[in-house]
Amino acid sequence: MRFVDEYRDADRARALGERIAAACRPGRRYTFMEVCGGHTHTIYKHGLEDHLPPEVNLVHGPGCPVCVIPMGRVDDAIHIARQPDVIMTSFGDMMRVPGGSGSFLDAKAEGADIRMVYSPLDALKIARANPDRRVVFMAIGFETTAPSTAVTVLRAAAEGLSNFSVFCNHVLIIPAIKAILDSPDLRLDGFIGPGHVSAVIGCQPYEFIAHDYGKPMVVAGFEPLDILTSVHMLLGQLAEGRCQVENQYARVVPWHGNRVALSAIGQVMRLRPHFEWRGLGFIAHSALAMAEDYAAFDAERVFDLPGVRVADPRSCQCGEVLKGVLKPWECKVFGTACTPETPIGTCMVSSEGACAAYYNFGRFSRERMRAAADEPLAGEASRA
């Protein structure tokens, strides 16, 4: 299959691994953050760390949209779902995300009408079919999914569907990266940029990372060779003393983004003054809300919400994982109290979550490393 098979060639992966090792300067270690949870999934699923020398360390960033939703927003959504005559609709990833008072699945088991959809347009279809019910779409995601929400609202407005609204939780990648760069907890040598988000916003918004912070970034695709090539490109920039934003994913990502998608977002949504991110706290201008012209479709105005902040469980270290401070297996409840079947934190729920990706795939690479080094692995003996 074109654009898939040629990016999964094992011989080319081994050759790239050798080139990456040769590009490393003796005695130096490199730490790169893959911002997107899709990259984390690919790294673990395809065992890419096996192709990297020990001098190169990949850490995980806050690019999983489900993972960064704070527990209080989940509780607000459940509060809406429990109102009379409400149908709450959501992507499947959100169904098991724990809030302070349970998850969507828990609320559904207690009688709330919560339905999984594949698109906000599916929610609009439900609203058409149930004119006597209030249908709410739980909108999540970065700039990747915001255009589909915006287009759905525009269609609802054109059709005059007064029983449809959106609980908007769309977040923005640039403020999150800036928060990471301003954090004293982590020292990075460069970024593997998110491909899906960049297909919408382009590469130009990342230029401040190189100009203001002196860190290179390579926007990468999601196949194994995409990521290995991006690591090699980052090492090349460092070796040559360059600091730029480069686009490895040019087959999909335009430099200036998708102007039609950006226009739809700009028409329907506005910047929030601030928004709470799990693990990162409140970040200014980091999320979207419904614009004034579309207030009738804003669930936060249609319903009275508790709006109570809920602290994460003390045992959960999702925040540190999202900031790249901890690897998933370093969390004290990883794989024991917290599993995909019984998640404590959001990173174990979503397929893009670092903890779920490592639990499902990455631990096998770690077991190979343990066998090679004959070294005990903390936290995994209990799963054996």
Q: pLDDT for 101-156, tens place per residue?
A: 899 999 999 999 999 999 999 999 999 999 999 999 999 999 999 999 999 999 99
Q: Do residues 152 and 265 both lie within one domain?
A: yes
Q: Is the predicted pLDDT of residue 356 greater than 60, yes or no?
A: yes
The tally of domains found in the chain comes to 3
Tell me which amino acid residue 267 is.
Answer: Q
Domain end point (choices 247, 265, 289): 247
Looking at residue 26, its pLDDT comes to 93
CATH number of residue 292's parent domain: 3.40.50.11740
Asked if residue 275 lies in contact with residue 300, where contact means CB atoms within 8 angstroms, the answer is no
- Global pTM reads 0.90
Q: Do residues 154 and 266 both lie within one domain?
A: yes
Q: Do residues 278 and 150 both lie within one domain?
A: yes
Q: Do residues 168 and 265 both lie within one domain?
A: yes
* Residue 311 domain flag: no
Asked if residue 104 lies in contact with residue 71, where contact means CB atoms within 8 angstroms, the answer is no
Q: Do residues 89 and 30 both lie within one domain?
A: no
Q: What is the C-alpha to C-alpha distance for residues 317 and 265, in angstroms, rounded to an integer? A: 33
Asked which of 20-24, 98-102, 258-262 is least confident by mean pLDDT, the reply is: 98-102
Q: Do residues 143 and 280 both lie within one domain?
A: yes
* Residue 218 domain flag: yes
Q: Do residues 219 and 348 both lie within one domain?
A: no
pLDDT tens string 11-61: 999 999 999 999 999 999 999 999 999 999 999 999 998 899 999 999 999
Q: Do residues 268 and 147 both lie within one domain?
A: yes
* Residue 275 domain flag: yes
Tell me which amino acid residue 117 is.
Answer: V
CATH number of residue 193's parent domain: 3.40.50.11750
Over range 209-235, report the average pLDDT. Answer: 97
Q: Do residues 191 and 46 both lie within one domain?
A: yes
Q: What is the CA radius of gyration of the chain?
A: 21
Q: Is the predicted pLDDT of residue 367 greater than 70, yes or no?
A: no
Q: What is the C-alpha to C-alpha distance for residues 173 and 96, in angstroms, rounded to an integer? A: 24
Asked if residue 346 lies in contact with residue 98, where contact means CB atoms within 8 angstroms, the answer is yes
* Residue 308 domain flag: no
* Residue 367 domain flag: no
Q: Do residues 90 and 144 both lie within one domain?
A: yes
Q: Do residues 337 and 263 both lie within one domain?
A: no
Average pLDDT for the chain = 91
Over range 237-266, report the average pLDDT. Answer: 97
Q: What is the C-alpha to C-alpha distance for residues 234 and 55, in angstroms, rounded to an integer? A: 14
Looking at residue 377, its pLDDT comes to 43
Q: Do residues 12 and 49 both lie within one domain?
A: yes
Question: Parallel, antiparallel, or unpaired: how do β-strands 281-284 and 274-277 relate?
Answer: antiparallel
Q: Is the predicted pLDDT of residue 166 greater than 80, yes or no?
A: yes
Range of the domain at 240: 5-62+184-247
Looking at residue 351, its pLDDT comes to 75
